[in-house]
A and B are shown apart, each in its own frame.
Chain A
Amino acid sequence: EAQVTQNPRYLITVTGKKLTVTCSQNMNHEYMSWYRQDPGLGLRQIYYSMNVEVTDKGDVPEGYKVSRKEKRNFPLILESPSPNQTSLYFCASSLDPFQPQHFGDGTRLSIL
């Protein structure tokens, strides 16, 4: 089954404790992206990746890191999480940025 898998689905943690949200796709897609969703603000792009070892900042990259060492994986790293990063996060992938995105099920992060 073609899918984008995110883990964990839910996480409650504390300020400053490094965390990683994993994202994996099995569709051999070149393009992958991370978004955060907050009430009234829609989806805001954090980082995107056109291919392995190629990443670019989206609209809200501050406080986040990403890496793309393999085509299928695109982890999101919060090195020192803060409460303003409490949000719903989505990973997505597509063949290229001009094709429809396939979304993961989302990760709800709460940072206390």
Chain B
Amino acid sequence: QKEVEQNSGPLSVPEGAIASLNCTYSDRGSQSFFWYRQYSGKSPELIMFIYSNGDKEDGRFTAQLNKASQYVSLLIRDSQPSDSATYLCAVGSEGTSYGKLTFGQGTILTVHP
């Protein structure tokens, strides 16, 4: 089992729809969770980070964290063609792997007009 696993893509949604991206992780001691967006040929850029259970909203983006079920999700409301990119989930470890950051394999999102 991969340490951090994202829903397999690619994911295609129409413009204006809600895109839902999911990520599960195996380390119960994980305390920090990040979503990055990466356009083709570019470096990752931060979308959201979340540390506590529940929802965190920033504009059209909502991150949801459920530590008991070990998943974190990203919702993109009113999806735009400019949201088309690869989305990377990252999980920060504590305990014996303190400082280690593990990324999922990424989910390719396409928003079509």
- Point out the residue from B44, B46, B99 that lies within 8 Å of A43, measured CB to CB: B44
- How far apart are the CA atoms of A92 and B105 in the complex, in Å? 18
**Does A90 sit at the interface, judged by CB under 8 A?**
yes
Give a binary string over B25-42; 1 marks a CB under 8 Å from any A CB, 0 the rest.
000000110100000001
- Point out the residue from A40, A45, A50, A103 that lies within 8 Å of B43, measured CB to CB: A103
**Does A48 sit at the interface, judged by CB under 8 A?**
yes
**Does A31 sit at the interface, judged by CB under 8 A?**
yes
Q: Which residue of A lies closest to B104 (CB)?
A: A42
**Do B92 and A100 have beta carbons less than 8 Å apart?**
no
Tell me the A32-66 residues at the B interface (CB within 8 Å): 33, 35, 40-45, 48, 50, 56, 58-59
Give a binary string over B83-98; 1 marks a CB under 8 Å from any A CB, 0 the rest.
0000010101000001
Residue positions of A touching B, CB distance < 8 A: 31, 33, 35, 40-45, 48, 50, 56, 58-59, 90, 97-101, 103-106
Residue positions of B touching A, CB distance < 8 A: 6, 31-32, 34, 42-46, 49, 51, 88, 90, 92, 98-106
